[in-house]
Homo-oligomer: A and B are copies of this chain.
Amino acid sequence: MNNVSNYQISKSICHPSIVDTNTSVLHEGDLLFRMGDKLDGVYMVNSGAVKLFATTESGDEHIIRFCMPGDLLGLGSLGDGISRTNAVVLDIANVSLIPISTVLSRSDGFNLGAFMDKIATTMGHESEHSLMLSRCTAGRRLAWFLMEFSRGQASRGLSPNKFIVPMIRSDIALFLGLAVETVSRELARLCKQGIVKKNLRHIEILDLDRLRAISEAEDVAPKTKARSNSSSYH
């Protein structure tokens, strides 16, 4: 990962002095926090990858999102400071803590607008994720996942066509609400179509346009028709 761009991402929210004093490095498999933990603030991922997930009593997990450089973690605890999710490091990561007091105390070093902006972006992603889970075919979910990852790469100045994903197949499955076997099969299909090339976690996108087309397919769900809403406009 590129340290220069990571540093810039952090700076946009916090003054360097805030970041520097609260940074730590975690390794693959490390738990950043788990459900029920008391958190002192919100974490920002500077490098590496962290998976954020919820677990049920029965031990099943649902992956909420994969946090990459620039992403915030632990937002759900902003209220009472108690985390409702678990965070595990997938790839050696550098994360910094933004204390809740910093967020609320409007010191000069903290950019509340940029912070709100990140929250809004995060919520937007969650909505899209939710849309994918509710009304899309397995093939489309996977295509969307790859497109999103590719976009993320591009936004971090890395190659949007060739990358190594930090998660294993079952993580992808858990994120997309599919069985591992389905993820494997759909990925195989994309390969046969010449749209991507894969070798375990090494992914190469050969035809971004076609992949985008699949991810945006207009076959979302000709099921339930919406109520006609178009009446007066406030």
- Which positions 71-128 of chain A face chain B at CB distance < 8 Å? 75-80, 84-86, 88, 103-104, 106, 112-113, 116-124, 126-128
- Which of B59, B118, B134, B218 makes the CB contact (< 8 A) with A226? B59
Copies in the complex: 2
The chain A residues found within 8 Å of chain B, CB to CB, are 24, 26-27, 29-33, 54-62, 64, 75-80, 84-86, 88, 103-104, 106, 112-113, 116-124, 126-131, 133-135, 168, 170-171, 173-174, 176-177, 179-180, 216, 218-227, 229-234
- Which of B116, B173, B179, B216 makes the CB contact (< 8 A) with A103? B116
Contact B233 A31 (CB under 8 A): yes
- Which of B124, B176, B221 makes the CB contact (< 8 A) with A60? B221
- Which of B29, B127, B176 makes the CB contact (< 8 A) with A84? B127
Whole-angstrom CA separation of A207 from B77 in the bound complex = 32
- Which of B27, B62, B123 makes the CB contact (< 8 A) with A76? B123
- Residue in B closest to A114 when the chains form the complex, CB atoms: B79
Contact A30 B75 (CB under 8 A): no
- Residue in B closest to A55 when the chains form the complex, CB atoms: B226
Q: List 5 A-B pairs, minimum CB-CB distance, nearest first.
A: A134-B177, A79-B117, A78-B120, A79-B120, A29-B231
- Which of B76, B177, B226, B231 makes the CB contact (< 8 A) with A127? B76
Q: Which residues of B contact A118 (CB under 8 A)?
A: 79
Contact B32 A234 (CB under 8 A): yes
Contact A57 B218 (CB under 8 A): yes
Contact A174 B85 (CB under 8 A): no
With both chains docked as a complex, state the minimum distance between the C-beta of A23 and any C-beta of chain B, in angstroms.
12
Q: Which residues of B contact A135 (CB under 8 A)?
A: 60, 62, 177
Whole-angstrom CA separation of A173 from B55 in the bound complex = 25
Contacts beyond the supplied A60-B222, A84-B127: 12 A-B pairs with Cβ under 8 Å = A29-B231, A30-B233, A54-B131, A60-B221, A75-B120, A76-B123, A79-B118, A84-B124, A134-B176, A170-B224, A173-B223, A174-B224
